[in-house]
A and B are shown apart, each in its own frame.
Chain A
């Protein structure tokens, strides 16, 4: 066996990982962008450090923002005592989490109980690696792209890594050995499996148009963002509006946020999968949720909202300034989208479980499928008229939703009649018609 291993490793000697091959191959996994190796490594390390810390600070900022904005929406103050306007509240929370006793209940499955929070947090952090957070900066004659790794399968990487996040939830739920936790974990896994399909299918329309425009590397998130910067109204959410809505909804479900937070519905399941967790382990679950939100927003901005482009503003200024401006644009867009997350939380009530499944399988999935068919069909028949594709997508989505809705109403199982309560039948039939 050793001999075989040796041979395979040296057989691919032409594609040495750091020498040539993998890194220099323009179609390879990591496009080197014409950078010398030492510049590539140094710039990558700097970018990783900056982005990882920005992500962690972003989590803190989001926790503060969520509490303050929730307070504002409910006409109360929210935390405003620690530091200016309560800005240091997340730090105080963090210290509290760290100093609390790291309690492991006796009835849990210890290895998995300890492992689960990390298994949720790590995928959340890994995903940001392929998201382009700006154009490029020119330092000392080297053009450095503002992205940690521009891999050729960027969007597939994101789908693969986010699909691993569910393990943290399910394992944490199972290891807790608590029926409420387990119920929460099972709900969460069913929800994530259902909405992952929509998540994957909704982006195919985007990928199809990008592949025609940018050639064979449409799965690279940088290429997708670039394809939206050509003119003012090229952002994908205009061309693929139904797919954009489906993708966003599915992302809300994947991040377990209201209105999709059935996995931790307080009124039914105590705290769902993290009922048995306390101190820093709970904090890791908590951080993972916010990290998923941030990364999800960044991915949505890249795929549908033009990435770092904003009406040519990203080209203003010199080689360094324009890079920073493009990063600022991306940052602002992500922040706005994160506000939408909080906004939706206090706008929509939680779905019932059957409503959740109906929405995912009977509405979002057909809409995502229709967007693929319509985009492909109209691209060929109208010679790539994006206005027509955009209109066609919306019309198709309307047709799909009305057909599915009509079928649902027609096939509705007969209501259970409750003769004791007079007038309830008429009320219900009015409500459903």
Chain B
């Protein structure tokens, strides 16, 4: 085993343990923390793949902004009391869970089988121009301009939606 493989297994194991912890912890705060661990381990895997920009973006976007908001919501939801009630466990949710679980398991097996033959998994090498942030920027503004702009429009729409939802009509109390 070379160092890269050892690191791969360390990060892979960490991601799996984190992911399982997310659903097995009873307390939402701990689940959120486990999710950070998973995201962090994924960032480590991205680094091993040579996608350093993606790794940094992963940490900044997920582990940073979204998780802070996540914690925010959780803390305002069960302020000061230990909420031992897990997520609602209806028969419907269980059904969805089983279906999704089977789908993911099938996908995993499919990839694993085909990876042995070396067909299903794309090369672990990133495109040469996508290694640097500069290259990614150039690709985003030339080859992938339309998807990029569409994504930014969706984000803008979400932003405006939030402002409209939150904005009070007129300050009445002061």
Contact = CB atoms under 8 A, between A and B. Distances in A.
Given A8-B8, A152-B133, A189 B68 contact: yes
Contacts of B121: 4, 7-8, 11
Contact of B75 (A8, A174, A219): A174
Nearest to B56: A156
Given A12-B124, A182-B75, A211 B53 contact: no
Interface in A171-228: 171, 174, 177, 179, 182, 186, 189-190, 192-193, 196, 211, 215-219
A18 interface: yes
Contacts of B24: none
A17 B4 contact: yes
Contact of B115 (A8, A170, A174, A182): A8
Chain B contact patch, size range? 35 or more
A27 B52 CA distance: 10
A100 interface: no
Interface string A15-27: 1111101100101
A187 to B, nearest CB: 12
A interface secondary structure, majority: helix
B161 interface: no
B2 A16 contact: yes
Contacts, number: 147
A167 B56 contact: no
Chain A contact patch, size range? 35 or more
B112 A159 contact: no
A166 interface: yes
B41 interface: no
B38 to A, nearest CB: 14
A156 B72 contact: no
A7 B80 CA distance: 47
Given A163-B64, A164-B59, 8 more contacts: A3-B115, A11-B124, A12-B49, A27-B132, A152-B132, A164-B63, A167-B68, A218-B134
5 contacts: A152-B132, A153-B133, A189-B71, A193-B69, A216-B135
Interface of B: 2-5, 7-9, 12, 29-30, 33, 36, 47-50, 52-53, 55-57, 59-60, 63-65, 67-69, 71-72, 75, 79-80, 108, 111-113, 115-116, 118, 121, 123-125, 131-135, 171, 174
